[in-house]
Amino acid sequence: MIVSFLYVNSVAVADQQRLDQEWRQHVTVPQVVPPRIDPALQQPVDGVDFAIQVPKLNYFAAVREGVSSGVLYGGPGHYPETPWPGDLGTVGVAAHNVYWINFPELKVGDEVDLQTRYGLYRYRVTGARIVDPSDRTVLVPQSGGHHLTLTTCWPLWAGAFATQRYVIFTDQYYPAPVSPQQN
C-alpha cells in the first residue's frame, strides 16, 4: 500500500514538473496586457490554463483546468466556474496541501503572479482564513474588482484527513484593473 502511494505520488510530481517545464519553454508571456483579451486565449491548452508564481516562496506551477481530485492530485487547478485572470471577479485556484505546504507563510502585501498566454497579472495578499469545505462564498468577491483566491486543505499536516480549508485572498494590482465604468 505505501509503495503504491509513493509510486503514484512520484508520477504526479513528475507530471507537474513536466507541465511546468513545458509552460516555461513554450509559452511567451507578453509584458503588456492588451486592452481587450482575445477569448480564444482564455481556453486550456493541453489541459493547462495558466501558471502561478509566488516569488517569496520560490514557487512555480502550471495550473490545470478543474478541481477534481484527479486534477488536484497532480498540482493546482483553476475552479472552472470562476473567471480567468484579467476578467472582473475572483479567479479561484486550488491545490492539495502537499503542494502548498508553506503557503501559510504568505503575509499581507506578499505577491502572487499569474502568467497567462495574454499577459502577466500581479496580486497582493490581503488576508487569509480557515473555512468549512462547503463554504464556496470565498470564491465570490464581496465587492467588484479583480481578485484571486487560493484554497487548500487544512490543517496542512492532515493530508487527506484535513477537515477544513485554508483560504488566501488577494487583489490584483498589475496591470491596474479597469472597472466596467472606465471601458
pLDDT of residue 170: 97
The per-residue pLDDT for range 70-90, each reduced to its tens digit, is: 899 889 999 999 999 999 999
The per-residue pLDDT for range 9-51, each reduced to its tens digit, is: 666 778 888 888 888 888 888 877 888 889 999 999 989 999 9
The per-residue pLDDT for range 93-135, each reduced to its tens digit, is: 999 888 898 999 999 999 999 999 999 999 999 999 999 988 9
- Residue 77 contacts by C-beta under 8 Å, 6 or more apart in sequence? 63, 64, 65, 66, 67, 68, 71, 93, 94, 95
Q: Which of 20, 28, 118 is nearest to 61 (CA)?
A: 20
Average pLDDT over residues 165-178: 92
**How does residue 157 score in pLDDT terms, banded at 50, 70 and 90?**
confident
The residues with which 174 forms a beta bridge, in sequence order, are 122
pLDDT of residue 22: 85
pLDDT of residue 116: 96
pLDDT of residue 19: 83
pLDDT of residue 180: 56
Domains of the chain: 2-182 (2.40.260.10)
Q: Which of 178, 182, 167, 37 is nearest to 103 (CA)?
A: 167
pLDDT of residue 7: 47
Amino acid sitting at position 78: H
* pLDDT at 179 exceeding the cut of 80: no
Dihedral pair phi/psi, residue 168, rounded to 5°: -115, 130
* pLDDT at 3 exceeding the cut of 50: no
